Amino acid sequence: MGPAARGPHTASAAVARLARDPDPSVRAALTRHPNLPQQRLAELLDEGEPARVAAANPALDPEPMHRLVTMRGQRE
């Protein structure tokens, strides 16, 4: 993956844009980025496969984490 996915100084707007890339590997890499805006991170929590990666992002705010724990098992 390119420097944008690994660079801690990549602008949050660029990270958010790349997290919408049609290539699943690009989306997955940027979903892990600490500069991914909370709004986009929250959106990814509802997008199927990227949700697993988004839930593991250490920058995820506590409120969405709490929602995930509360909803665990209710979607199955």
**Dist. CA 18–CA 24, nearest whole Å:** 11
Domain boundaries, the chain: 3-71
% the chain with pLDDT above 70 = 91
Q: What are phi and psi of 48, to 5 degrees?
A: 70, -120
The residue-averaged pLDDT of 15-23 equals 91
Per-residue pLDDT tens for 45-65?
A: 888 778 888 888 888 888 877
Q: How far apart are the first and last CA of the chain?
A: 33
Report how far residue 27's alpha carbon sits from residue 16's, in angstroms, rounded to the nearest whole number: 9
* pLDDT > 90 fraction of the chain, expressed in percent and rounded: 25
